[in-house]
Structure 1
Amino acid sequence: MIDNTPLTVGPEVSIRDALVRLDRSRLQVVFVEDAAGRLIGAVSDGDVRRGLLAGAVLEDRVSIVMNPSPATVPPTATQDDVDALKSERGIRIVAVVDDGGRMIDVVGEGERIATPLATPVVLMAGGRGQRLYPITKDIPKPLVPVGDAPMIDIILGRLRDQGFRRVHVSVNHLGHLIEEHLGDGERFGLEVSYLHERAPLGTAGALAQLKGAADTEFVVMNSDLLTQVDLRRMLDFHRRTSASATIGVREYGFEIPFGVVRREGDRVTSLAEKPHHRELVSAGIYVLEPEALSSLELDEYCDMPTLLARLIAQDSPVRAFEIHEEWIDVGRPDDLERARQAWERSTR
């Protein structure tokens, strides 16, 4: 986040005064904001030059020479979105604006978008990690090392790098070790708080503690996932589709190891030798609106499929967002080894 004051002027200032501000701008552009702070234009040296050639004078209002359609992206935009817009319009600078049209950041040439997001993330970390036993006998699965860092440290680092700042961690099994390790999150550049499960509550039960407290959409993610998924893009999809809930999904392929026989009555109609099937499966990443929690009760067990089925039964819009990036569910020892190999490759 930057202080935009040196980069902005009002529409009533003179072209001369805007040039003074432009000369001091690190980006060689100034942005024009109305009285309510909404972005209404941008002015570069080229805009001023073209305006003067068309007959404007230095004492005219800057609004007559500004570009009234500056390049903008929402806070949920990804770096790919920014790069594509720059390429499409042949520009070097993109403004980040909120839903009210106010500029909250600027991405200049060679810079990366890093606008902090108000959207919180809930990491589900209360499970016992039984499929990784005995590794998880005395250590909760989120603290199992992958490379030189616990799994949850890698997840938190990726969340921070994407602009997230608030994280709730649901804890139960050996939860005190997770709390001791993460603390308040300050060393990760995050604000970390905890949802305490007195007993195992499933993959959605702990979310009941957010009823009445959540005032915006939030991300829910299993804490045994190592993925490069761009959550900003998923958030943007969720908002654009007006979803009550969005499920991250992946394509999963499997082969039936036998010849499959199809029939009508006792008449064989076809044979397929070891056919390969593909299905979409849940990736353990969700975006939920606050109202999606209305059916949950405190300390009541509920898994995520049950919660989503309730929403579907109520005709609430539940959307699917396809994930194509690297994704590893660290559930079994061979998954852990695969995650460690992937981490090693990424740090070479």
Structure 2
Amino acid sequence: MKSWRKAIVGTDATVSEAIAAIESGSIQVALVLDASSRLVGIVTDGDIRRGLLRGMQLSGLATEVMNRSAVSAPATLSREERLHLMRQKSIKQLPLLDGNGQLIGVETFDELIEAPHYPNPVLIMAGGLGERLGALTRERPKPMLNVGGRPLLETIIRNVVQQGFRNIFISVNYRAEMIVEHFGDGSAVGAAIQYVHEAERLGTAGALGLLPQRPELPVVVTNGDILTTINYGALLDFHNGTAAQATMAVREHKVHVPYGVVTASDGYLETIREKPTESWYVSAGIYVVGPTVFDHVERGVRIDMPSVLERVVANKGRVAVYPIREYWLDIGRMEDFEQAHAEFNEVFP
């Protein structure tokens, strides 16, 4: 049984402390206990992200976002009974209680079965020119630039494979032969790689229309120039837990205005905000798209992912939003490339 004690927080814990407990623990949740060690609720990564979208502050109480109806079980249950209960309830963590209702352990679904494996396809968009990086991409595609001693695309693929995804498609266009020659069929990195060749560049979503057949499962889609420690499995689980046809990963972007910001009406001053920090959620270039989304992509026609998602919404579909707290860097400019080199060994040991 995995160590779970680092995941414990009290009823007075903040959301920030719950995040720290999730990250330092080994069971992917925070356990909220009262003074008598009785389970009050569970806080998941999804609970926190939904709370942040509602405007919840990190200084707020974790009890405001926790699940108060979390499933638990007597510690006397057999392995088979625990596994059956977890499958029945579609849960990955099962708190175990003694006869007095006190928490004495946590069973995890991953421990009860073999290592996680996701049959869902992953599509990596690697056909762009990377023109903003100038001479660096004159002879090679941006995803093949070395960061930390290996191609950026290799880091993305290794992360995906380590998280249980094996079925990988790579969309290629510019200098496609370099990518195909380096990765081949993917067996060297534990994957099964197929290539989607764009005869002409089709935007950030056009490659969806070139997949050999319409997927039956949701597809994880990521741009090929992103360094991130996102948990793709958690993203997929989040998507599957919604009624959405697609999910967009987003990142909070903050801008500090070094001046007093003035609002006026009819030529008269209303307010002055001194050096405010504005923030927005921006697309992180990572998505989950369900099978019905493919209805909005024509084969061989250029289209970007925002346009596809707008079509989904226009047709009364839903697109969920998944805030990223993990490390994330879009390598679009020279300064981003330099930052990736400086941080790589610390983020990807």
- What TM-score, normalized by structure 1, do the two folds share? 0.71
Please give the alpha-carbon distance, in whole angstroms, between the structure 2 residues aligned to 1:172 and 1:263.
Answer: 50
Change in Cα spacing, 1:73 to 1:282, as seen in structure 2 (3 Å) is: farther
Post-superposition CA distance 1:245-302 (Å, at most 9, x none): 1000111100234432211111111122332101011111000001101121111110
Contact 1:211–1:294 under 8 Å retained in 2: no
1:187 maps to 2:201: no
Contact 1:71–1:94 under 8 Å retained in 2: no
1:244 maps to 2:250: no
Which residue, out of 86, 108, 112, partners 1:106? 112
Please give the alpha-carbon distance, in whole angstroms, between the structure 1 residues aligned to 2:96 and 2:156.
Answer: 30
Over the aligned positions, Cα root-mean-square deviation in angstroms equals 2.9
Please give the alpha-carbon distance, in whole angstroms, between the structure 2 residues aligned to 1:314 and 1:344.
Answer: 45
Contact 2:263–2:272 under 8 Å retained in 1: yes
Aligned to 1:131: 132
Aligned to 2:8: none
Amino acid at match of 1:150: P
Aligned to 1:161: 162
Count of matched residue positions in the alignment of Structure 1 and Structure 2: 272
Please give the alpha-carbon distance, in whole angstroms, between the structure 2 residues aligned to 1:182 and 1:66.
Answer: 41
Aligned to 1:72: 86
Please give the alpha-carbon distance, in whole angstroms, between the structure 2 residues aligned to 1:146 and 1:197.
Answer: 25
Please give the alpha-carbon distance, in whole angstroms, between the structure 1 residues aligned to 2:212 and 2:183.
Answer: 24
Post-superposition CA distance 1:299-340 (Å, at most 9, x none): 111001111111111110111011100111111121112112
Aligned to 1:17: none
Post-superposition CA distance 1:82-103 (Å, at most 9, x none): 5x8579964475445xxxxxxx
Identity %: 34
Change in Cα spacing, 1:296 to 1:223, as seen in structure 2 (3 Å) is: same
Indicate the SS of the match to 1:208: helix
Indicate the SS of the match to 2:137: coil
Contact 2:83–2:112 under 8 Å retained in 1: no
Please give the alpha-carbon distance, in whole angstroms, between the structure 2 residues aligned to 1:147 and 1:86.
Answer: 43
Please give the alpha-carbon distance, in whole angstroms, between the structure 2 residues aligned to 1:268 and 1:211.
Answer: 60
Please give the alpha-carbon distance, in whole angstroms, between the structure 1 residues aligned to 2:311 and 2:342.
Answer: 39
Indicate the SS of the match to 1:135: helix
Aligned to 1:3: none
Gaps of 5+ in 1: 1-41, 49-64, 97-104, 108-112
Indicate the SS of the match to 2:298: coil
Q: How far does residue 148 in structure 1 lie from its aligned partner after superposition?
A: 1.2
Contact 2:147–2:340 under 8 Å retained in 1: yes
Change in Cα spacing, 1:267 to 1:183, as seen in structure 2 (3 Å) is: same
Gaps of 5+ in 2: 1-72
Contact 2:126–2:224 under 8 Å retained in 1: yes
1:338 maps to 2:344: no
Aligned to 2:197: 196
Please give the alpha-carbon distance, in whole angstroms, between the structure 1 residues aligned to 2:153 and 2:170.
Answer: 10
Aligned to 1:268: 269
1:1-348 pair list within 5 angstroms:
67=81, 72=86, 82=93, 85=95, 90-91=104-105, 93-95=107-109, 106=112, 114-210=115-211, 212-346=213-347
Please give the alpha-carbon distance, in whole angstroms, between the structure 2 residues aligned to 1:345 and 1:328.
Answer: 14
Please give the alpha-carbon distance, in whole angstroms, between the structure 2 residues aligned to 1:276 and 1:343.
Answer: 28
Please give the alpha-carbon distance, in whole angstroms, between the structure 1 residues aligned to 2:144 and 2:184.
Answer: 13
